[in-house]
């Protein structure tokens, strides 16, 4: 989106700051939340996320595969949290919708009516 805003024919040199403000309003919050969510989810995948299963194995209550209840429960909690984190994709505004909003703001910045 940032590239499209900067490259847009309505973005003249005098409107670059305005185009950057539009990006900050329309898409930057989403991009920041995705980056933050990605980082914390990455820690889960490597069993290093505070408060979630850390990959520790305990030699208690092992099943026939050698997996204990502690490990099984910890992995299940981690799995459910990772799956829940994908739900934001369904509830977030699409990139196309954001681009339409940004385009309208850019037109307003340039003094064009929609």
Q: What is the chain's alpha carbon radius of gyration, rounded to the nearest angstrom? A: 22
Residue 57: count other Cβ atoms within 10 Å of its Cβ. Answer: 11
pLDDT digits (tens, 9 = 90+) for 71-91: 889 999 999 999 988 887 776
At 26, the pLDDT band (50, 70, 90 cuts) reads very high
15 has pLDDT over 60: yes
In this structure, are residues 60 and 70 in contact, taking their beta carbons and an 8 Å threshold? yes
pLDDT of residue 40: 93
Distance separating alpha carbons of residues 52 and 3, to the nearest angstrom: 38
pTM: predicted TM-score of the whole model, two decimal places: 0.66
Domain ranges of the chain: 2-110
Mean pLDDT over 49-58 rounds to: 87
Q: What is the per-residue pLDDT across 90-108, written as a single tens digit (0 to 9) for each? A: 767 788 889 999 999 999 9
Q: Please, which pLDDT band fits residue 114 given cuts at 50, 70 and 90? A: low
């Amino acid at each position: 989106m940032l590239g499209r805003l900067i490259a847009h024919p309505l973005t003249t040199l005098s409107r670059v700051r305005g185009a950057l403000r539009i990006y900050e309003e329309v898409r930057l919050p989403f991009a920041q939340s995705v980056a933050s969510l990605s980082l914390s989810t990455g820690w889960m995948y490597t069993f290093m996320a505070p408060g979630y299963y850390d990959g520790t194995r305990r030699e208690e209550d092992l099943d026939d595969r050698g997996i204990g209840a502690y490990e099984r429960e910890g992995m299940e909690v981690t799995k459910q949290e990772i799956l829940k984190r994908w739900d934001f994709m369904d509830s977030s505004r699409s990139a196309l919708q954001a681009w339409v909003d940004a385009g309208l703001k850019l037109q307003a910045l340039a003094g064009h009516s929609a």
